[in-house]
Amino acid sequence: MNTLTPALLTPAPREALRRTLANGLDTVVVAAPGAPLAELRLVLPYARADRASVRPQELVAAGLGTATAGRDRQAVADRAADLGAEVSTVVTAEHLVLSVSVLAHGLPGALRLLADLLVHPVYEPAGTAPAPAGPAAPGPRTRLRRAQLRHAFGGPHPLTEEGDAGGPAPGTDALYAFHRRAVVPRGAVLLVLGGADPDRVLALVRAELGGWAGGPSGLVLPPFPRAEPEPGRIALHDPAAGQALLLTAGPAVPAPEPGHAALHLAQLVLAGHASSRLTRHLRERHGLVYAVDARVRQNRAGCWLEIDCVGAPGTGDRIAREVADCLGALAESGPTPEETRRVRRYAAGFARFALATRAEEASALAGFVAAGLPVDWLAHWPAALAEVTDAQVAAAAARFLPPGRTLLATLDTAPAQEA
């Protein structure tokens, strides 16, 4: 019997202090004793509100963190360099994430700079800012993604519709108005991971960011019109696509609800790692795809099991048939005990890999908190996986993987030609 189980390989959760400030900022301080760097992650709700807000939203995201009323772009960059800090922003379908990595002794100055960027931003007028490119036509993957979600969950919905494609670039008044709406503490999450005493860090956050006010912004994704995806088959065609794409949408259970861990293991057997059934069947045996993956996707809009394949032009219909066959076989017979053992160990190891650097750890923990999960959720994940039985994984496959419950959506260069 192998006693080196994934649960025993799990590191202990870090000490965390969580408080909501008077201005509504959800603040989490995570202790990493001896860390030479402090990692800050500010997560702002940033889902698209309406078509008219698309351009201001894009420009505010591009300009946030670059200049303040007292510092131009160069001065902000110089101050960050003096502190030993790097500042960056990332935008997702739900959030704007402002990240700061700073030498430990520079944390107080980094918080002061962050407050200045949030409270006293400067956005360049259209005549001096780099001219924004006009909205590009959506690429093949974006078109397929929108069609997949529209068919599966209904619409209209921000994730299924195009943004505002016309009109002049918004002026600075519109940008400042959108900043006042969106860049607000109430509804936001600030996570600080570092070696300083958590109570001292919390006091610094209160001192520097306590004057930041506003919110909530309301920039959150609404639920899809349908909670469970509508199954079926849709096929898009674009002669200029250059490759065949497949996306599926099947029923799923979100974290941390009961049954999520069993479904996670079942989808890993299907397509979530290098030795998965679809990888061996589609890529190694038939040479149909360049890449194949599966994952449970969840956000405030909904939750679905998604398979993602990329193949050569003209293979879309064949890929869809083979995926449906693999779904049916796994749903009917379930994974073998060896497959379940393999993916259980893979999933536990991947959880540790996700925390390999403090920068990755800070980003992951901030994302969990913003999604409504406990800050230590990932630290307990391998233990949760270890408790799932083989029978529970087979039951999850039987419940969630039947092809009759799944939407298969493809985009290819042209319809398949019958022989």
For the chain, what percent of residues have pLDDT higher than 90? 81
Name the nearest CA neighbour of 39 among 107, 119, 117: 107
Half-sphere exposure at residue 396, Cβ-oriented, CA atoms within 13 angstroms = 26
Overall domain count for the chain = 2
Give the per-residue pLDDT at 2: 32
Instruction: Assess whether 395 and 355 both reside in one domain.
Output: yes
Concatenated DSSP letters of 180-201: HHHS-STT-EEEEEESS-HHHH
Give pLDDT tens digits for 271-299. 988 889 999 999 989 999 999 999 999 99
Residue 308: inside a domain = yes
Residue 151: inside a domain = no
The last residue of one of the domains, among 177, 209, 241, is 209
Residue 154: inside a domain = no
Q: How confident is the model over 388-407, as a mean pLDDT?
A: 98
Question: What CATH number is attached to the domain comprising 275?
Answer: 3.30.830.10
More confident residue, 303 or 137: 303
Give the per-residue pLDDT at 63: 96
pLDDT exceeds cutoff 90 at 351: no
Give the per-residue pLDDT at 1: 28
Instruction: Assess whether 297 and 182 both reside in one domain.
Output: no
Q: How confident is the model over 388-402, as a mean pLDDT?
A: 98
Instruction: Assess whether 351 and 391 both reside in one domain.
Output: yes
More confident residue, 191 or 419: 191
Residue 398: inside a domain = yes
Give the other-Cβ count within 10 Å of 378's Cβ. Answer: 21
Instruction: Assess whether 125 and 250 both reside in one domain.
Output: no
Amino acid code (one letter) for 387 = E
Instruction: Assess whether 190 and 289 both reside in one domain.
Output: no
Residue 239: inside a domain = yes
pLDDT exceeds cutoff 60 at 410: yes
Q: Measured between alpha carbons, how far apart are the two ends of the chain, in Å? A: 53
Tell me the pLDDT band of 126, cut-offs 50, 70 and 90: low
Instruction: Assess whether 197 and 255 both reside in one domain.
Output: no
Residue 147: inside a domain = no
Cross-sheet strand order for the sheet of 85-91: 16-20, 26-31, 189-194, 37-45, 95-103, 85-91
Instruction: Assess whether 250 and 362 both reside in one domain.
Output: yes
Give pLDDT tens digits for 357-370. 999 999 999 999 99
Instruction: Assess whether 74 and 174 both reside in one domain.
Output: yes
Helix (H) or strand (E) holding 292: strand 289-298
pTM of the model: 0.91
Instruction: Assess whether 286 and 383 both reside in one domain.
Output: yes
Instruction: Assess whether 285 and 342 both reside in one domain.
Output: yes
Q: How far apart are CA 196 and CA 331, in angstroms?
A: 50
Q: 38 by DSSP, 3-state: which?
A: strand
Instruction: Assess whether 128 and 266 both reside in one domain.
Output: no
Question: What's the domain range around 68?
Answer: 6-132+169-209
Q: Which residues contact 418 (CB under 8 A, 6 or more apart)?
A: none
Give the per-residue pLDDT at 276: 95
Name the nearest CA neighbour of 277 among 348, 345, 325, 344: 325
Give the per-residue pLDDT at 417: 61
Instruction: Assess whether 260 and 360 both reside in one domain.
Output: yes
